[in-house]
Amino acid sequence: MELLGDEYVPSRAAIVEKVSCALARNEYESLQIGVHAIGAELADVRLEVESDLEVKVYHGIEGYKLLDGNVAGGLAAGKNSNFWLTFHATRETPAGMHAGRIRIKPADHEETVLDLEIQVRPFVLNRPRISIGIYYPQGGGDDQKWMAAFKDMAEHGQTSLRRCWTDRDNYGVP
């Protein structure tokens, strides 16, 4: 999950044909896919996921921001962009291997197809006993912004923060 600079070019060994991850039931897990315009400009790069699991797709802009959606704009030759895929296995998702495909489709080039394997483990993780506070909504903290921040955290695999403010005290309260 390392942030890649705009001009990063992967070595041949870093280019994959299969993407995989594992998660427990009722867990979210994110994967990052880098798209590199090595030889020529790419127009309107679209990423499509074929999977029986819930998936939310984001695309990177300006090297560090993520936007909701599966279409990144044009990509200049020698530059790259990234997509974040956040998978969710519900409590009812069958345990085992869930196969699928990821299709990367520039508007003006042939698509690239990657195999996708997601291992769903046969258990649900317990709620964490320890809370950490590393994520704060921009512009203050009304309840709507906090709830949006918590939802975003869960969708990106940060599941150990619990609500930690009350009128009584400033300590972790479930």
State in words which class domain 12-123 has.
mainly beta
pTM over the 0.85 mark:
no
Rounded Cα–Cα distance for residues 20 and 47 (Å): 16
Share of the chain above pLDDT 70, in %: 74
Range list for CATH 2.60.40.1510 in the chain: 12-123
Rounded Cα–Cα distance for residues 10 and 169 (Å): 49
**Predicted local distance difference test score (pLDDT) of residue 42:** 92
**Predicted local distance difference test score (pLDDT) of residue 148:** 75
At residue 150's C-alpha, the angle toward residues 147 and 155, to 5°, is 125
Confidence band of 67 (pLDDT split at 50, 70, 90): confident
